[in-house]
Amino acid sequence: MDNNVVVVGYGMVRVGEYWYKDIVSIGVEAAESALEAAGNPDIDAFYVGSALSSALGIQGNVGLHIADEIGLDDFIVETISSGGVSSGLAFINGLHYLASRHGYVLVGGVEKTSDNLPTEVSEAVLVDLDRRVMKYSGLTEAGLAAILARLYMERYGVDRSKITQISVLDHENAVDNPYAMFRKAVTLDMALSSPIVADPLTIFDVSPYGDGAAFLVLTTKDRAIEDGLRYVEVAGYGFARNRVPINYREDILSFRATAKAVGDALGSAGISLDDLDIIELFDSYSISGLLALEGIGVCESGSSANEFSRGMFRRGMRPSINTFGGLKARGYPIGATTAYQISEAVIRLLSDSDDYSTALIHSMTGFDDEALAIILRRGGLNA
């Protein structure tokens, strides 16, 4: 990839439960913040990811309504729904738009689940999984995660306590994140003694759904330099899919879509795993994060839980993982999640106090049903 597209602005709202705001208002707040950070440029295209806004009957074509509220018109507006990668695909659409144009593009995602009952949200999430199997067998997403965790423990001889260590790290990293849903550190004992959701997983193994919105402003490197904007380079990306029904997969503990997406992203960026300073990992469940990290290739199969238990992947280490709290502590605004991950990596790469230069953002729908990997690199103009 020729690094022609750069990120010049970001905006987020704190993930939480916004009983007093509708989904459009939440999106407007984050979008306006991103535009202000980029100097309020004229926007040529707007791509929005939202996994459940239509499925929950909240608001269809939400991108069009956000555009109306912030006064954007006469350009492309597209709303994308593809589970956890929704806002990630919005980001990729922005890259494609700028591949042959010089302008500014607003990309990101918005989600709102607090207006619906937990059972309604759980039902809606099945839309992005194999609903035929899940719905009529009575299997939930959490139940499927528990099956994966149990199989992982039995195959690799991993103690149950080590599965949850990734969540403890997430909470540790979220303490100073102003956009995090939960800004409190937890101990492993506290996590293990919490209520069970689906044996052996407790509430600390399950990332909480939340309302949220995050947006980024993209442009070309030449335009950013011309306008005097600090920027982060988009160095590469990859996208792949797996068989959705896990019973069709050769090995349900092998996240092959993640492996291919990351391999393609690293290849297009011309780097290796050893060059990564940060990994923003899609850990909707603790077991998902462990399997994803092994799919990426940072850990061998069956070893990631032990590595977290040894105290690896903390801030300042290479790589540092989920430096703002991941999905467990920052919160899981489903379709907007990838935009949060990208924004968090941009913050680190723009920071004068952090010694980070290259970041990998990993996102996926379900349990590796589809996977997206994006490589960002510290840019110029004092970035």
What is the pLDDT averaged over residues 84-102?
Answer: 94
What is the pLDDT averaged over residues 102-126?
Answer: 89
How does residue 59 score in pLDDT terms, banded at 50, 70 and 90? confident
What is the pLDDT averaged over residues 338-357?
Answer: 92
**In the predicted structure, residue 128 carries a pLDDT above the cut 80:** no
Domains 5-117+209-232 and 140-208+235-378 agree in fold: yes
What is the pLDDT averaged over residues 198-216?
Answer: 96
What's the rounded Cα separation, in Å, for the pair 173 and 327? 11
Q: Read off the pLDDT of residues 158-194 as tens digits, 9 standing for 90 and up.
A: 999 999 999 999 999 999 999 999 999 999 999 999 9
**In the predicted structure, residue 285 carries a pLDDT above the cut 60:** yes
What does the pLDDT read at residue 2? 64
Cis peptide before 333 (omega within 30 of 0): no
Q: Read off the pLDDT of residues 363-379 as tens digits, 9 standing for 90 and up.
A: 999 999 999 999 999 98
What is the pLDDT averaged over residues 52-67?
Answer: 85
**In the predicted structure, residue 94 carries a pLDDT above the cut 90:** yes
What does the pLDDT read at residue 227? 94
Cβ atoms < 10 Å from Cβ of 20? 6
Comparing 299 with 71, the larger pLDDT belongs to: 299
Are the C-beta atoms of residues 50 and 134 closer than 8 Å to each other?
Answer: no
What does the pLDDT read at residue 44? 94
What does the pLDDT read at residue 380? 67
- Average pLDDT over all residues of the chain: 93
CATH architecture assigned to 5-117+209-232: 3-Layer(aba) Sandwich (3.40)
The pTM of the full predicted model, rounded to 2 decimals, is: 0.96
Pick the CATH number of 140-208+235-378 from 1.10.20.10, 3.40.50.2300, 3.40.50.170, 3.40.47.10: 3.40.47.10
**In the predicted structure, residue 284 carries a pLDDT above the cut 70:** yes
The full set of domain ranges for the chain reads 5-117+209-232, 140-208+235-378
Are the C-beta atoms of residues 193 and 204 closer than 8 Å to each other?
Answer: no
pLDDT more than 70, % of the chain: 96
How does residue 120 score in pLDDT terms, banded at 50, 70 and 90? confident
What does the pLDDT read at residue 81? 93
What does the pLDDT read at residue 172? 97
What does the pLDDT read at residue 3? 63
Q: Which residues pair with 84 in a beta bridge?
A: 82
How does residue 382 score in pLDDT terms, banded at 50, 70 and 90? low
pLDDT more than 90, % of the chain: 82
Q: Which two tokens stand for residue 191?
A: 């996590």
What is the pLDDT averaged over residues 324-333?
Answer: 97
